[in-house]
Amino acid sequence: MKVGNIVARTLSAAALAAMVCLAWTFQASADAGFQRWVADFKNTAARAGINSRTYDLAFRGVTAPDPEVLEKARYQPEFTAPVWDYFDNRVHEQSVAEGRQMARQWKRWLDHIEARYGVDRHILLAIWSMETNYGRILDNDKVMRSVVRSLATLAYADRRRAKFARTQLIAALKILQSGDIDVSHLTGSWAGAMGHTQFIPTSYQAYAVDADGNGRRDIWNSVPDALATAANLLRKNGWRSGETWGYEVVLPGGRKFPAGTMSLAKWQSIGVRRANGKPFPRPSDSAELKVPEGRAGPAFLVTKNFFVLKRYNNADKYALAVGLLADQIAGHGGLVRDWNRPFTKLSFREKQELQKRLNSAGYYDGKIDGKIGSGSRAAIMSYQQDRGLPEDGHASKEILNVLRGR
């Protein structure tokens, strides 16, 4: 099923006209209600110390909720990504190569930040990659939008996030009032995450740093400020300088393992070994076992710094991806035991080729970025369906070879 045929096959012209009419009616009602909410919230902001000039400047031109913010807030992915999919889209040869290039480009600042905060530069580069693809996302108008409008939309129309959004909106207004950034550059994700290293407003208030010394904490335009802010967050949450986040390990067969933390020496005494064959450099350190893909996949003993990374994003997969990417940027090599995939893995360039070929065949109209998301998977499945192939949606060497005519 090609991209251009999808709408035509599902909706009649009459149905589309009815939907447009309904949308206009809803929008008119929502706009009036939203404008009343904005007027009322000004009193709340005033009690929090926001002056009238700042508030009026922030909301100038903000007359309606952002429908894309609500769509993203309500979106539930149909495809539940397996573990390997998450890591394949984040830890790959392109993100490693760009991280090394950024390490050279920003060496002087990374030297300063690492000395000041004690956080490994490769960890900071991995976070930068994970959050905004080394800042590239900041230039994407489809991703970045007005923080004030996004948070006001959530506060007004999303019951689940209303309290969070109100708190973040007040914080965003305080950032604007401080003069660190002007309203035209106060942009972020649909949920209000801002700058190169994606800080929500309250986290910005707690950790933002003016590393370049220009008098403003500008994580949107200053890479030094953004990386130092990330380092400051990690340091204040207990980052241990000179220590790793964890180790890939090999588990002995035929036994169960205890939950919770034990010393690395204790783990070693029950048969757990480093996957690369080297000894644990700090055997007295406490560590916890993580097996994100079960016993059949890679296993890790994670230490204190792993849990500090989770203060940035409270997900095991996120912290693991940051650690694994940082290790590869630093030249420590990839996994000894790879993730279990039911197909042959593609390189980053091969994924781009796959997207290009699907685009040429009329199945894919997204970015040629080598990242396999829901759009790429849907295109693969449509292509497989039209050719009577198993509809797994995997970006595999097998489907690429079919597209190549082999």
- Return averaged pLDDT per consecutive 10 residues of the chain, 406 residues in all: 39 46 52 95 98 98 95 69 90 97 98 98 98 95 94 96 97 97 96 98 98 97 98 98 97 90 97 96 97 94 98 96 98 94 94 96 94 93 95 95 92
Q: Which residues of 231-270 are buried (b: 16+ CB within 10 A; e: fewer)?
A: bbbbbeeebbeeebbbbbbbbeeeeeeeeebbebeebbee
**pLDDT at position 31, please?**
87
**pLDDT at position 333, please?**
87
**pLDDT at position 296, please?**
87
**pLDDT at position 1, please?**
42
378, 383, 385, 388: CA torsion to nearest 10: -150
**Short-list 66, 71, 74, CA closest to 38:** 66
Q: In what order do the strands lie in the sheet with 299-302?
A: 261-263, 286-290, 299-302, 246-250, 273-274
**The domain made up of 81-135+223-338 is a member of CATH 1.10.530.10:** yes
Provide the total of helices (H) and of strands (E) in the chain, helices listed first: 18, 7
Whole-structure pTM value: 0.89
Domain boundaries, the chain: 8-77+142-194, 81-135+223-338, 348-403
Assigned superfamily of 8-77+142-194: Bacterial muramidase (1.10.8.350)
The total number of residues written for the chain in this structure: 406
DSSP 8-state code for residue 346: P
Please name the residues in contact with 333: beta carbons below 8 A apart, sequence gap of 6 or more: 276, 327
**pLDDT at position 13, please?**
46
**pLDDT at position 6, please?**
36
| Distance in angstroms (rounded) separating the CA atoms of residues 387 and 401 | 14
